[in-house]
Amino acid sequence: MKHDPVAQPAGRIRSVVIVDDHPLYGDALASALRHVFQDCRIETAKSLGEAMDLLARGAAPDLVMFDLKLPDVTGISGFLSLRDRIPDTPILVISSLTSVDVVHALMDAGAAGFLPKDASAQVLKSVLFDVSAGRKYLPKEYQKTANTEQRRPDCHQVNQKLADLTPQQTRIMKLICAGKPNKQIAYELSLAEATVKAHITALLRRLGVQNRTQAAVLVESGNMDGAMGASDADARAFLSQ
């Protein structure tokens, strides 16, 4: 990834929240931020819960730098929760979780950009300039081509698929969207882990997706109110959240 140097930041970033549970990496991010935005206020959180607490106490960041792998949540669900809380604030995801599916799902869901944790400090600084100017950033190796671009599902079709889930599949899907691993899902639903895996395989097939990330994005893309006609009470409760 080659970036030309930029003399001055294009946008005004006065406040940044860093959400990362690795102190050394968080310090490195803060150092890069101070180099680019000399007067910005930097606050840190080691979990999604801490980040939400900061926002509840009045933090109003111009930018959030967010790791997908945190003590209380892993994967895209944490990003979705944060984005729903601050929909107008750019969120730059910096993570060691570098699955192409995850990255594309993040960008489709409104991330300001994605940067692998092994990116150089110079690249990070350049990306900060881009994001401050309102531009999205995605490394070339993750950018979609004409051959990989997929048509987003029709909202009505998504709602039909969600309404067709069984009660148990609905409960499991809810926990998947909350970022829970199979072991935790099994514990919360009093099921064997093998049973949970079988249910997940079945619900992925029913939703027409290949993995948990795609399933979470599919749920996010649906009009939840439009799926309320489902006859199953558990499905209605899930879709109304």
Mean pLDDT of the chain: 80
Confidence (pLDDT) at 12 = 76
Domain 15-142: CATH superfamily, name plus number: Response regulator (3.40.50.2300)
Amino acid (one-letter) located at 229: G
Report, as an integer, the average pLDDT of 107-126. 89
pLDDT-based confidence at residue 113 (cuts at 50, 70, 90): very high
Q: What is the pLDDT of residue 51?
A: 96
Question: Considering the domain 155-239 in this protein, what is its CATH number?
Answer: 1.10.10.10
Residues of the chain with CATH 1.10.10.10: 155-239
- Span 150-188, pLDDT tens digits: 545 556 677 778 888 888 988 898 888 777 788 889 999
β partners of residue 69: 74
Dmax of the chain from CA atoms? 59
Q: What is the pLDDT of residue 235?
A: 37
Q: With left for phi above 0 and alpha for psi between -120 and 50, is residue 214 left, alpha or beta?
A: alpha
Whether the per-residue pLDDT at 239 is higher than 80: the answer is no
Alpha-carbon 164 to chain mean position: 25
Q: What is the pTM of this model?
A: 0.62
Cα dist from 95 to 38, 47, 76, 190, 234, whole Å? 24, 14, 11, 32, 34
All CATH 3.40.50.2300 domain ranges of the chain, comma separated, are 15-142
Better pLDDT: 207 or 18: 18
List the single range of 95-99, 103-107, 185-189, 230-234 with lowest mean pLDDT: 230-234
